[in-house]
């Protein structure tokens, strides 16, 4: 239609999560109509982020400083580490402002199916952080999936000898959730974790 | 969460058509995890497209060559010009491979509400192309909206004295469309344009 540059750009945009060929074309067209105000700023932001952002050597969070903003924050409770599968989970917990300790990003879960073993995850970093002695509690904030549960079990076994308290995030009915659309496993967990009102 | 670079990038991505804050975060995270293979190529494609792509001086199509690929194509029928509101309409017609002549991008429609008059559209370019004498038919492929219809009427008046044949794209039931979900205007047009089978 308009030369290889446009086709190439649409191809790359269409591979972004949440984008398809149609929305990629719309995005490309909108940017092409305002190259100075829309296209070049995005190109610059991408280049800058690619150059500046690195995984935090301590926790695995992505940040333009290392140690990351969270690990460097003296206000945070250094005795509690929340273990998450990925940076997206960390972002979600930070947006909710529900955890005031530190994090540790595993980089995935154990998975026999996908052939992911402990050596593929950021376990040594976790063990050495705990060995430093400041940590009193580890919160396992892993997904409620088969692999998430298996990883939580394995980590509980591994960490038992360290003497830190090990907890898992609660399971049950999500906020705003109707019971009749929930799966059996969630309903079972919700009944199991019932509390007096 | 991870410094101003990430927040800035997510902000720009979330302004793309089809993207919201959630998909922008997912896209940014996916790219941040593969900066070399995903982020820098997109930055380069954006920069290249912003530098290379310009509106065609003849028809208004966006292309990295001027006159554009379509206007330069000797195989195309130079006697028929299809008038469209925007480059997105031109792209849609090209994908459908239904028009083998040239195009003319108006850059919008007349709109009393939005204060868009003939002087805001690429009308002089159209008149001078027709004045060159090669054009025998002008197809008005404008949207079936109030403004599209008003623009089509106005153009028909303007072009009548040139002697070229002026046609409008047909209206009716879209392919795959069920009648019971169509609006009254479309149903009226479909009955009005009925043909013997």
DSSP string, B18-34: T--HHHHHHHHHHHHHS
| pLDDT, position A10 | 95
Distances in whole angstroms, Cα of residue B4 to Cα of each of A71, A94, A109, B8, B35: 16, 15, 29, 6, 17
How far is residue A61's CA from residue A36's CA, in Å, rounded to a whole number? 32
| pLDDT, position B189 | 83
- Residue B137, H or E segment: strand B137-140
| pLDDT, position B129 | 95
B111 DSSP 8-state letter: B
pLDDT tens for A51-82 read 999 999 999 999 999 999 999 999 999 999 99
Is the confidence at residue B183, as pLDDT, over 80?
yes
CA count, 13 A, side-chain hemisphere, B86: 11
CB contact under 8 A, A43 and B40: no
Q: Is B96 on the interface with A (CB under 8 A)?
A: no
| pLDDT, position B127 | 94
Determine which of A45, A66, A92, A95 to mutate to test the interface with B (most B C-beta atoms within 10 Å).
A45
The percentage of chain A sitting over the pLDDT mark of 70, rounded to a whole number, equals 99
Q: How far is A176 from chain B (nearest CA, A)?
A: 19
pLDDT tens for A141-184 read 998 888 999 999 999 999 999 999 999 988 888 888 788 888 88
Task: Establish whether this prediction's ipTM goes over 0.85.
Answer: no
Q: Is B93 on the interface with A (CB under 8 A)?
A: no
Residue in chain A closest to B65 (alpha carbons) equals A3
Least CB–CB distance from A19: residue in B18, B28, B35: B18
Pair B82, B94: CB distance under 8 Å: no
pLDDT tens for B78-92 read 999 999 999 999 999
pLDDT tens for B123-175 read 999 999 999 999 999 999 998 888 999 999 999 999 999 999 999 988 888 88
Q: Is B144 on the interface with A (CB under 8 A)?
A: no
The percentage of chain B sitting over the pLDDT mark of 70, rounded to a whole number, equals 99
- Residue A148, H or E segment: helix A146-159
| Complete domains list, chain B, with CATH | 4-52 (1.10.8.420), 77-192 (3.40.1360.10)
By three-state DSSP, how is residue B128 classified? Answer: helix
CB contact under 8 A, A18 and B26: yes
Picking from B141, B43, B66, the residue whose alpha carbon sits closest to that of residue B98 is B141
| pLDDT, position A65 | 94
Pair A94, A29: CB distance under 8 Å: no
Least CB–CB distance from B6: residue in A17, A29, A53: A53
Least CB–CB distance from A3: residue in B5, B18, B69: B69
How far is residue A12's CA from residue A123's CA, in Å, rounded to a whole number? 34
Mean pLDDT, residues A74-100 taken together: 94
């Amino acid at each position: 239609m308009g030369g290889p540059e446009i086709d190439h750009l649409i191809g790359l945009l269409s591979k972004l999560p949440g984008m398809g060929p149609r929305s990629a074309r719309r995005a490309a067209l909108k940017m092409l109509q305002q190259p100075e105000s829309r296209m070049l700023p995005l190109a610059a932001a991408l280049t800058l982020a690619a150059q500046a952002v690195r995984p935090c050597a301590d926790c695995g969070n992505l940040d333009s400083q290392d140690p990351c903003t969270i690990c460097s924050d003296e206000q945070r409770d250094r005795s509690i580490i929340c273990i998450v599968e990925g940076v997206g989970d960390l972002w979600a917990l930070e947006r909710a402002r529900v955890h005031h300790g530190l994090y540790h990003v595993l980089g995935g879960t154990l998975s026999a199916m996908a052939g992911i073993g402990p050596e593929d995850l950021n376990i040594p970093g976790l063990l050495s952080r705990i060995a430093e002695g400041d940590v009193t509690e580890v919160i396992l904030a892993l997904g409620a999936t088969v692999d998430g549960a298996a990883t939580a079990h394995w980590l509980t076994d591994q960490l038992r000898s360290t003497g830190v308290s090990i907890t898992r995030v609660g399971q049950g009915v999500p906020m705003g959730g109707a019971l009749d659309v929930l799966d059996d496993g969630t309903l079972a967990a919700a009944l199991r974790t019932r509390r007096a009102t």
